[in-house]
Chains A and B, each alone.
Chain A
Amino acid sequence: MIRTVDAAKVSDTVAKLCVEANFKAPKDVVDALARALRAERSPLGKDILRTLRENIRIAAADKVAMCQDTGMAVVFLEVGQDLHVAGGALAKAVNAGVRKGYAEGYLRKSVVDPLTRANTGDNTPAIIHTEIVPGRLLRITVAPKGFGSENMSAIRMFNPTVSRDQVEEFVVGCVRDAGARPCPPTVVGVGIGGTFEHAALLAKKALLVPLGEKQARADLAAVERSLLAKINALGIGPGGLGGATTALAVRALAHPTHIAGLPVAVNICCHALRHASAVL
């Protein structure tokens, strides 16, 4: 049987998630910052980590966004194939929600036309990724993405004969070149395989995997560990002021690719790794 969800309900939920994601840090990030503070030896690095923890507390208390760059709203929709959205187009409903959430939450409107640079005024359009899944539910994840870190991301189409070391050097190189700009400590999302655009999407999705969650593939887990060690050996540290905590985590996702190539994408996210989900 087909289940019906009202488009207005979708809008309200998206609005709520935009606000929640910006005011409240996910628990895994809070825990990772606490662990980093215990491990960090650099005095200025510790200072920054303490400030970031205090900032998370103040944001929740004052109902103020953790970071003024409240991002471009990236919205993941998992739509059950036995679900029907009534009362309007789904994408329209999502954008109405973003408009509402960014107004009601006093969030910054950072979206502009790419050519004229004119601000759209309401932080729309959102970037919407829709997937049709079995079932009758609608899962919505809002992940506002700041551009200090988004700008430091990269994709590379490798030859199939590339070594693992070369791939890792590409990822580490992105983080090295980014330096202090993406507000370290960061979380580094890596997408390996698929096609050009799919690798980028994998890298973005990798950022949504809870930080403590066990990586399903042992070989991929080894890549994540190796990358994290190399990245934290760079010494960039919190705020780029030196230290052992350049990244809180590296998360990788893989997908089968073509015999002729190996796309690898790196999506860097700051410690403000914001995301909030709801199921309708």
Chain B
Amino acid sequence: MKAKKLTTPLTQGKALSLKAGDRVLLSGTVYTARDQAHKRMTETLIEGRDLTFIPPGATIYYAGPAPARPGRPIGSCGPTTSARMDAFAPALMAAGVRGMIGKGERGGNVVDAIKTFKGVYFAAAGGAGALLARRVKSARVVAYEDLGPEAVRELVVDDLPLIVAIDAHGNNLFERKKR
């Protein structure tokens, strides 16, 4: 099966065209965020303020990259466990986030939110940080610099290899495959 080329930002139409099990090469802009950034972003939303650094239709990459060597945009940059972000993900989707990249299964609340907001959850190969880093063309911190590896970074990526794990129709690769 050939991989589909996909560019950000994700629209509702693009999300609906994806099926669980599709291999995707994603190009464009993604935003890294993990535990502490999710906690802060959710607090901002609860206070009724906007997340100015994340545009509508954004894709969040659950990752905390290793530092870059001089001359390189980024260090090792693979996905972290998505389930830890489950409690925060629906609120972020309600605020406009459409795509999520991480590793491992998601809770029922996230599967429901993906259906409601016509989003998509991609699985990246867990532990393939060196390979994934090669697909990152540039990186800059856009929020929470004090969090170090957990800061929100805007990454420009080229052909990031992903697998559609949960699609907008509610198909869930982890459900189907887990006997």
Q: Are B165 and A241 in contact (CB under 8 A)?
A: yes
A117 — which chain B residues lie within 8 A by C-beta?
A: 36
Contact of A108 among B64, B103, B127 (CB under 8 A): B64
* In the bound complex, CA of A63 to CA of B75 (Å): 9
Q: Is B66 in the interface zone, CB < 8 Å from A?
A: yes
How many interface contacts (CB-CB < 8 Å) are there between A and B? Answer: 154
Interface of B is mostly: loop
Q: Is B129 in the interface zone, CB < 8 Å from A?
A: yes
B-contact bits for A140-154, CB 8 A (1 contact / 0 none): 000000001001000
Given A44-B21, A235-B179: A241 and B76 within 8 A (CB)? no
B83 — which chain A residues lie within 8 A by C-beta?
A: 181
Residues facing B in A95-149 (CB within 8 A) are: 106-110, 117, 119, 121, 148
| Selected interface stretch from A46-54, A160-168, A252-260 | A46-54
Q: Are A43 and B1 in contact (CB under 8 A)?
A: yes
B127 — which chain A residues lie within 8 A by C-beta?
A: 52, 55, 66-67, 183, 270-272
Residue of A with least CB distance to B123? A239
Shortest CB-to-CB span from B168 to chain A, Å, is 19
- Which residue among B64, B75, B134 has the maximum number of chain A CB atoms within 10 Å of its CB? B75
Q: Are B68 and A68 in contact (CB under 8 A)?
A: no
B63 — which chain A residues lie within 8 A by C-beta?
A: 68
Residue of B with least CB distance to A270? B127
Given A47-B23, A148-B103, A180-B174: A64 and B76 within 8 A (CB)? yes
A12 — which chain B residues lie within 8 A by C-beta?
A: none
Q: Are B103 and A52 in contact (CB under 8 A)?
A: no
Shortest CB-to-CB span from B64 to chain A, Å, is 6
Q: Are A52 and B129 in contact (CB under 8 A)?
A: no
Q: Is A267 in the interface zone, CB < 8 Å from B?
A: no
Given A48-B125, A68-B76: A108 and B66 within 8 A (CB)? yes
Residue of A with least CB distance to B68? A106
Interface of A is mostly: loop
* In the bound complex, CA of A117 to CA of B148 (Å): 12
B177 — which chain A residues lie within 8 A by C-beta?
A: 42, 235-237, 240-243
Q: Is A197 in the interface zone, CB < 8 Å from B?
A: no
Q: Are B65 and A108 in contact (CB under 8 A)?
A: yes
* In the bound complex, CA of A44 to CA of B125 (Å): 10
Q: List 12 A-B contacts (CB under 8 A).
A: A51-B131, A55-B130, A64-B69, A65-B66, A66-B127, A67-B127, A68-B78, A69-B64, A180-B174, A181-B105, A239-B103, A242-B176
**Would you list the 10 A-B pairs with minimal beta carbon distance, nearest first?**
A242-B177, A183-B126, A59-B130, A180-B104, A65-B76, A55-B128, A68-B76, A55-B131, A108-B66, A68-B129
Binding site for A on B (CB under 8 A): 1, 21, 23, 36, 63-69, 72, 75-78, 80-81, 83, 103-105, 123, 125-131, 133-134, 148-149, 161, 163, 165, 173-174, 176-179
